Amino acid sequence: MTPYPPARPFMTTALHREMRRGELPALRWEDVDFATGALRVRRDKAGDGRWVALNRVALEALRTLKREQRVSGPYVFCSPEGRFLHNFERVWRPALRAAAIHDFRFHDSRHTFASRLAMAGADLYTVQRAGGWKSQAMVQRYAHLSPGHIRAAVEKLAPSVPGSRTGTKTGTAP
Helix intervals (H) in 20-143 = 23-26, 56-68, 89-98, 108-119, 124-131, 136-142
Q: Which among 34, 31, 61, 33 is positioned nearest to 49, based on CA atoms?
A: 31
Residue 62 has a pLDDT of: 93
Helix intervals (H) in 99-146 = 108-119, 124-131, 136-142
Residue 108 has a pLDDT of: 85
Q: Give 10-residue mean pLDDT values along the chain (174 residues).
A: 61 81 87 94 80 91 88 86 81 82 84 90 90 86 87 84 60 54
Select 1-104's CATH number: 3.40.50.1580, 1.10.443.10, 1.10.3720.10, 1.10.10.10: 1.10.443.10
Residue 19 has a pLDDT of: 80
